[in-house]
Amino acid sequence: MSNKNILEIFGQNVQKYRKEMKVSQEKLADIAGVHRTYVGMVERAEKNITLRNMEKFAIALKVKIKDLLENE
């Protein structure tokens, strides 16, 4: 079992998929309909993200929510 908590895993996966899409945090925020600073806070595991916002990120990144929760 990893020492990473769920927020760290989610944030790292958001960042991974965002970089694969070659978009900035600001552009992802635009696509997802969230504030630009929120994306950075999620990627750094500083925010306890809601299920609604998890869905927004998954849709914006064109992945399933479960993909954002997978621990590598």
User: So what's the pLDDT on residue 3?
Assistant: 65
- H-assigned helices in 1-72: 6-21, 25-32, 36-43, 51-61, 65-69
Q: Is domain 6-62 in CATH 1.10.150.120, yes or no?
A: no
pLDDT in tens, 8-54: 999 999 999 999 999 999 999 999 999 999 999 999 999 999 999 99
CB count in 10 Å sphere of residue 44: 13
Structure-token match 């990120």, residue found: 57
- Domain range annotation of the chain: 6-62
